[in-house]
Structure 1
């Protein structure tokens, strides 16, 4: 079967389309004929072996797929790796039936980005109605869904960042109250200005480096910042405990992989998110439908911040 494989770690250039043997499901696993595979920013870290969990070579990247099982079910599944291929195997407990009215792109957006946004707002920061929320990379997969969910759940003011005027316009169309430039220099002041001169209650942060520090400085008393990525590939300056105490601020971390061993931590949010899509209250943004042969371009586009929303791969092309 056709699949993307890497034999050395590096940038997008190490991704190659090759012919490999079909995977064989083991105990508790199912075989899925892949209709679309999701492309995530975490995949770019996996390919260069800079992710939280270390990879082994040779590797077929891709942690999520939507497709059909051997008994005809249409499922979206977390597979860990191996998703960039015509067929993939995953554990049955991490495969979820996709209801009518939910597209392949919707399903792929919701199983990782959607459940992440759900947990960031409900589990990690415990957002309450009326609170202000700052969302970094608001045009991205997690950000575009988090904006909509925060508004649905009663946030007082939603502010989001983006790197271009076009993306900031899209953020406003999604329902954000304000869209600002996410460049680190002067970011604290722009955040507070966008929140009518007041610090913000909640920050969803996945850029890292000085962006995290500037965002922390814009937190209100009892404010909560959750970090769930480091897209800049930069380390933030350490924040001393005394700075947390003054203002009673919280920094939390979130990694969706910590939910994998408890299926309900994925299944319950996913059921709610599917329902919101079916009711027309939540929409995913398809940022690119790439052929498997275009995988290098997909990773280049993502790393260069040329994309929005959810990126998917078509293994038939």
Structure 2
């Protein structure tokens, strides 16, 4: 089969197209004939050796796919690697059929990033209509969906985005206010936009941004952490957490893979919102499989809005 194979840790150039053996099919797994493979920032961490789980080289990256199963059904699946390939074995608990009313691209956008947005908002911070929530990377794959879900819930959304075009998109998706994520004093910028401290934050940048957004939380505020795009995981100061009775909770989606019903329920809810026209999946960025390196360069350069994917078939 055709695949993107990493033989070393490094820059985008280590993503090389090659012929690879077909995957084994363990018990309770299904073979997926891949049409599209999702690209996520987690894949950059895999490539650079900063991922939360160890990998063994040579390695085929990619944790989500859309394609056909052996029964000829359109499906999406979450995997533990192997997605940048023409075939992948996926566990039946993390494989779902795609409704006829949902396109291939929409379904893939919902699989990893949609489920992440859903569980950040509803599992981690328990979003309610009374919340004011700050959403990092509000025009990105997770962020663009989270903005819409939060606004649909009735919460007030403060979006962060790095360019005027991205800030316009976040506003169109439902953010009540959008600020420049590169602001020197991000804490004050958020407080000004929100009219005071906020009740919830979704954070994926790490480092100084993590610290500045933590400082925007009101007493009893909640922060959900789902990444560290700048390469430095954030650290929540214990004194601040205690003084304000803050909750800081991480989310690494694979921990939900074995939880029966958790992802199937959120996947169904996301499908229903798309079919009802209440959730828009932004899917403009696609590359052929053998241009995976170019896709990673675009992702690292922050040139992506919405979902990035590889076209495999």
TM-score, shorter chain, exceeding 0.5: yes
How does 1:30-179 map onto structure 2 within 5 Å?
A: 30-155=30-155, 157-179=156-178
Q: 1:33: how far off?
A: 0.8
Q: Secondary structure at the match of 1:244?
A: helix
| CA displacement, residues 61-108 of structure 1 (integer Å, 9 cap, x when unaligned) | 111111111111111011211111111111122110111111111111
Equivalence for 1:267: 264
TM-score normalised by length of structure 2: 0.97
Equivalence for 1:222: 220
Query: Which is further off, 142-151 or 287-296?
Result: 287-296
**Partner Cα distance (1:192, 1:200) in 2:** 8
**Partner Cα distance (1:263, 1:73) in 2:** 22
Q: Secondary structure at the match of 2:305?
A: coil
1:242 aligns with 2:220: no
2:110–2:270 CA contact under 8 A, matched in 1: yes
Instruction: Give the number of aligned pairs.
Output: 313
Q: 1:240: how far off?
A: 3.4
**Partner Cα distance (1:240, 1:209) in 2:** 12
1:280 aligns with 2:274: no
Equivalence for 1:233: 231
Q: Secondary structure at the match of 1:77?
A: strand
Equivalence for 1:18: 18
2:222–2:246 CA contact under 8 A, matched in 1: yes
**Partner Cα distance (1:173, 1:274) in 2:** 21
| CA displacement, residues 222-263 of structure 1 (integer Å, 9 cap, x when unaligned) | 111111100011243x44322112222221111111101114
| CA displacement, residues 130-161 of structure 1 (integer Å, 9 cap, x when unaligned) | 21010000011110000000011110x20111
1:140–1:309 CA contact under 8 A, matched in 2: yes
Q: 1:265: how far off?
A: 1.2
2:93–2:258 CA contact under 8 A, matched in 1: no
1:29–1:90 CA contact under 8 A, matched in 2: yes
| CA displacement, residues 41-65 of structure 1 (integer Å, 9 cap, x when unaligned) | 1001111221111111010111111
TM-score normalised by length of structure 1: 0.96
**Partner Cα distance (1:231, 1:240) in 2:** 20
Tell me, which stretches of 5 or more residues in structure 1 are unaligned? none
**Partner Cα distance (2:283, 2:67) in 1:** 17
Q: 1:21: how far off?
A: 2.0
Equivalence for 1:185: 184
Q: Once superposed, which parts of structure 1, at least 4 consecutive aligned residues long, lie more than 4 Å away?
A: none
Q: 1:186: how far off?
A: 0.5
1:183–1:211 CA contact under 8 A, matched in 2: no
**Partner Cα distance (1:113, 1:315) in 2:** 19
**Partner Cα distance (1:239, 1:59) in 2:** 33
Query: Which is further off, 247-256 or 276-285?
Result: 247-256
1:224–1:250 CA contact under 8 A, matched in 2: yes
Tell me, which stretches of 5 or more residues in structure 2 are unaligned? none
Equivalence for 1:296: 293
Q: Secondary structure at the match of 2:127?
A: coil
**Partner Cα distance (1:20, 1:222) in 2:** 51
**Partner Cα distance (1:308, 1:275) in 2:** 23
Q: 1:289: how far off?
A: 1.0
**Partner Cα distance (1:240, 1:161) in 2:** 23
1:76–1:108 CA contact under 8 A, matched in 2: yes
